[in-house]
Structure 1
Amino acid sequence: MPRKSKLVGVLLLSALTYLAWQWVPVPLPSHWSDEQRALIESLALSQLPPLPDDTGNAVADDPLAARFGHQLFFDTRLSANNEVSCATCHMPTAGFTDGRRVAVGISATERNTMPLAGAAYSRWYFWDGRKDSLWSQALAPLEDAREHGTTRMEVARLISSTDSYRDSYEQLFGELPALEDSDRFPSRASPLGDEQSKLAWQRMDESDRHEVSLIFANIGKALAAYQRKLLPGPAAFDHYVADLQHSSSVTDSSAMSRAQLAGLKLFIGKAQCINCHNGPLFTNNDFHNTAVLSAPGVLPAAGRSEGLRLARSDPFNCTGKFSDADASECIELEFARGGDDMIGAQRTASLRNLADSAPYMHAGQIATLEEVIDHYVAADIAVIGHNEAKPLNLRAIEKRQLRAFLDALNGDLATDEQWLNAPSR
């Protein structure tokens, strides 16, 4: 018995020691090293460059186009049931997300809604990068049966039959064609969607199909002009970086708590988050396979390998006839990395305002940020493709500190209030 009791005591002491070690904080340094400071400053919103040019969209920065796009963004008539608008899933009051596991328009989709603030800085759109511009991205939900469920013919008719829309359109893009002839322009037609719509589209003359697709493309360009107004504003982290300009001490600023500062140290160091979540928007805008499990009952997504194929075959891509760009300005599309290395890879999400955009990952598979951190700590084997992440030896207190740091990335949008509310018609 004494020997058994002694063994139990040793095991109990070991367990208690391990548990205590899990929660022992590592002291913060008094000063950041030059390398650490450079990394921290590179993440600040003050380092965000001006909006990149959208060479494929000639009206990207036209004020009238932004106002037109603003009206379109909130218009439920751009849907089959007159109940779904862009703002249905991209809700201004929720950081232009919806708080759902997957987006729900006409019906449920298979993907989590991505926020729009700062989206104009991206090179690729959707989780798999199937679109190469903000304006072409805006078109896809309109004709998706589960989202808006409308057709490009119906969109063109709405623009033509609404006086204010017609006026805005013609000021921006020139005269609309006459769409009254129902033999030439059926009420519902598209190369996508239900069989009746596709058959009606096939029966149209090629020149008429081009006219309708051109109107449709221009609607995407107006929507993109509005979405370029949606920008993230400074968070506690950015205020901390600003304070660093006046003091080199780690803890002199009151903008972030000690737990958040410890999380920042982990973020740029031991946890390796900065490898993918870098730059002022905390994303490299690239694609990575991190072994996120599929949603229940759904096959694993091919990810970027399929997304790039779709982007290159998209009639609304940078090289297409509806783009305003020269072919020489479309090198990203030509030289983008695809193939087997991109199987299962999804786009790196921005971490700004992340704490308010649960659930997480491409299909909303993970409910909380704590679970997201646990996922990366474990770095399990991927079901499809290869997991790029490596297991992290983070203690319980370090995971909590990393989670605390993510709260320091929450901030109000740097967008005028007028753009955040539905405009009057």
Structure 2
Amino acid sequence: MRPHHLQRRPVSRRTPLVGAAVAAVLLAFTTAAAPPTWSDGELKTLKSLWIAELGAPPADPSNRVADNPAAARLGEALFSDARLSANGKVSCASCHQPDHAFTDARPTGRGVGTGARRTMPVAPAVHSPWQFWDGRADSLWAQALGPVENPVEHGFTRTEVARVVAAHYRGPYEKLFGPMPDLSDRGRFPLRASPVGDAAARAAWARMAPADQAAVDRVFADFGKAVAAYERTLRVRPGRFDDYLAGVFGAPGRHARLSADEAAGLRLFIGKARCATCHNGPLLTNNGFANTGVPARTGAAPDLGRAAGVRQAVDSPFNCKGRYSDADGEGCDELEFAVVDDPAQVRAYKVPSLRGVSRRAPYMHAGQFATLDQVLDHYSRAPAAPDGTSELRTLDLSADERRQIIAFLRTLDEQPERRP
């Protein structure tokens, strides 16, 4: 056999340089991938934002079927029933779409007409004492009633609601709430009658006997309570941010790391940018109301926000202390201590949850901003409010800082359900 001769290759003088370059790249990667460090105070704040810290939904003493599975099944059917609308095409699910975090991805809601405000997500609402952008309802069941009679949402009346329930849901309804009233006498129970409808509906309602009005109101309230029971079963799922915190706090389960930009954005969120002043807790909302100087939509009617909403909640016959509440006046602290006639509430709107926020464009109460960068630019500049007084203070966030905060906000997107 002929021996194999190994060919000796000259050693390149560039080898040390290549090695140095590789080492530099590895060092840079290691540095970039190094997990962020947090102070004790920051860790306390981070833990408060963790979805694992979110307790069970608070009890609703005003709704005795709030956690009844049969009521939730009835409510789910009602939630998706387009027969509960003037044109037979609009249901609660038309605007509260699961694929869009239970919103509709429109600047303002669209039912039988076009509304003045954005559709709010449903899942976080169970943890809030006030509903709607202006807080004009003090429970989920009271909230469910408003859109049905709104002329540009469902455009329905409460006698029509009662008839749909009687015709299609009598069995499950009566098992939960007792016998339905006999609605067959159209002289006593007009087809279309409501105290908040159009002129014809209001006139028909005014002709009804008080006892008959109360019977319809009872069915109407029960409809809302069933829908609320369903909505209470909806849950906000964890995001990658929560998997990151699970690793930080040594919890079992899936863990994740944040990129350098995401970590920097989180640090800004709880620090310099002061986002966590209002967007705090596991749902990243304090459930309060704030005037942040958001511009009015061009051509929109005057909107006082919470200043008008709190008065509506206090005056509503369907509130926690009302005739149709199951609370008997007890456990209604939020309503009892609601502040009215406060100038600070002018153009103050509900602080929304930031869970899934990157999937919920456009933004603000009437879809005034198309992107998160526009939102952060507004907060950074802190312009004067069109009415009332803005609570914002100038932040002077750079373009890079805004980009980093947005990178963090994307980690709040819900992840697909985990299968065992």
Q: TM-score, normalised by structure 2?
A: 0.89
- Does structure 2 conserve the Cα–Cα contact (< 8 Å) formed by 1:229 and 1:415? no
Aligned position for 2:19: none
Please say if 1:38 is aligned against 2:40: no
Question: Which of 339, 343, 347 is 1:337 aligned to?
Answer: 339
Please say if 1:134 is aligned against 2:140: yes
Please say if 1:402 is aligned against 2:405: yes
- Does structure 1 conserve the Cα–Cα contact (< 8 Å) formed by 2:33 and 2:260? no
Deviation at 1:336, TM superposition (A): 1.9
Q: Equivalences for 1:15-414 in 2 at 5 Å?
A: 30-162=36-168, 165-246=169-250, 254-338=256-340, 339-412=342-415
Q: d(CA) in 1 for partners of 2:369 and 2:399? A: 19
Q: Which amino acid aligns with 1:68?
A: L
- Post-superposition Cα deviations, 1:109-167, rounded to whole Å, max 9, x if no partner, equal 001000111210011011000000000000000000100001110010111112xx100
Q: d(CA) in 2 for partners of 1:358 and 1:32? A: 31
Between the aligned residues of both structures, percent identity stands at 49
Unpaired segments ≥5 residues, structure 1 = 1-25, 248-252, 417-425
Q: d(CA) in 2 for partners of 1:270 and 1:328? A: 42
Change (3 A) 1:414 1:196: farther
Deviation at 1:383, TM superposition (A): 1.3
Change (3 A) 1:124 1:30: closer
- Does structure 1 conserve the Cα–Cα contact (< 8 Å) formed by 2:262 and 2:405? yes
Deviation at 1:108, TM superposition (A): 0.2
Deviation at 1:27, TM superposition (A): 12
SS at match of 1:327: coil
Unpaired segments ≥5 residues, structure 2 = 1-31
- Post-superposition Cα deviations, 1:229-287, rounded to whole Å, max 9, x if no partner, equal 1111110100000000239xxxxx74321111100000110100000000000000000
Change (3 A) 1:412 1:29: closer
Deviation at 1:199, TM superposition (A): 0.7
Q: Which amino acid aligns with 2:118?
A: N
- Post-superposition Cα deviations, 1:70-89, rounded to whole Å, max 9, x if no partner, equal 00011000001100000110
Q: Which amino acid aligns with 1:82?
A: G
Aligned position for 1:17: none
Deviation at 1:393, TM superposition (A): 2.4
Deviation at 1:412, TM superposition (A): 3.9
- Identify the structure with bigger relative contact order (alpha carbons < 8 Å, sequence gap 6+): 1
Change (3 A) 1:343 1:27: farther
- Does structure 2 conserve the Cα–Cα contact (< 8 Å) formed by 1:230 and 1:415? no
- Does structure 2 conserve the Cα–Cα contact (< 8 Å) formed by 1:271 and 1:392? yes
Aligned length: 385
CA RMSD of aligned residues (A): 1.9
Q: d(CA) in 1 for partners of 2:99 and 2:275? A: 28
Change (3 A) 1:30 1:237: closer
Q: Which amino acid aligns with 2:129?
A: R
- Does structure 1 conserve the Cα–Cα contact (< 8 Å) formed by 2:35 and 2:257? no
Q: d(CA) in 1 for partners of 2:399 and 2:194? A: 54
Aligned position for 2:4: none
Deviation at 1:300, TM superposition (A): 4.4
> Which one is further off, 377-386 or 254-263?
254-263
Deviation at 1:415, TM superposition (A): 11
Aligned position for 2:5: none
Change (3 A) 1:401 1:201: same
Deviation at 1:326, TM superposition (A): 2.8
Deviation at 1:30, TM superposition (A): 4.8
- Does structure 1 conserve the Cα–Cα contact (< 8 Å) formed by 2:147 and 2:153? yes
> Larger C-alpha radius of gyration, 1 or 2?
2
- Does structure 2 conserve the Cα–Cα contact (< 8 Å) formed by 1:28 and 1:262? no
Q: d(CA) in 2 for partners of 1:177 and 1:390? A: 56
Q: d(CA) in 2 for partners of 1:185 and 1:326? A: 28
Q: Which amino acid aligns with 1:129?
A: G
Q: Which amino acid aligns with 2:57?
A: L
Deviation at 1:337, TM superposition (A): 2.9
- Does structure 2 conserve the Cα–Cα contact (< 8 Å) formed by 1:231 and 1:413? no
- Post-superposition Cα deviations, 1:87-115, rounded to whole Å, max 9, x if no partner, equal 11001121110011100000000010001
Change (3 A) 1:184 1:367: same
Q: TM-score, normalised by structure 1?
A: 0.88
> Which one is further off, 152-161 or 404-413?
404-413
Q: Which amino acid aligns with 2:180?
A: L
Deviation at 1:29, TM superposition (A): 8.3
Q: d(CA) in 2 for partners of 1:358 and 1:396? A: 20
Q: d(CA) in 2 for partners of 1:372 and 1:84? A: 31
- Does structure 2 conserve the Cα–Cα contact (< 8 Å) formed by 1:293 and 1:300? no
Q: Which amino acid aligns with 2:189?
A: F
Change (3 A) 1:214 1:99: same
Aligned position for 1:9: none
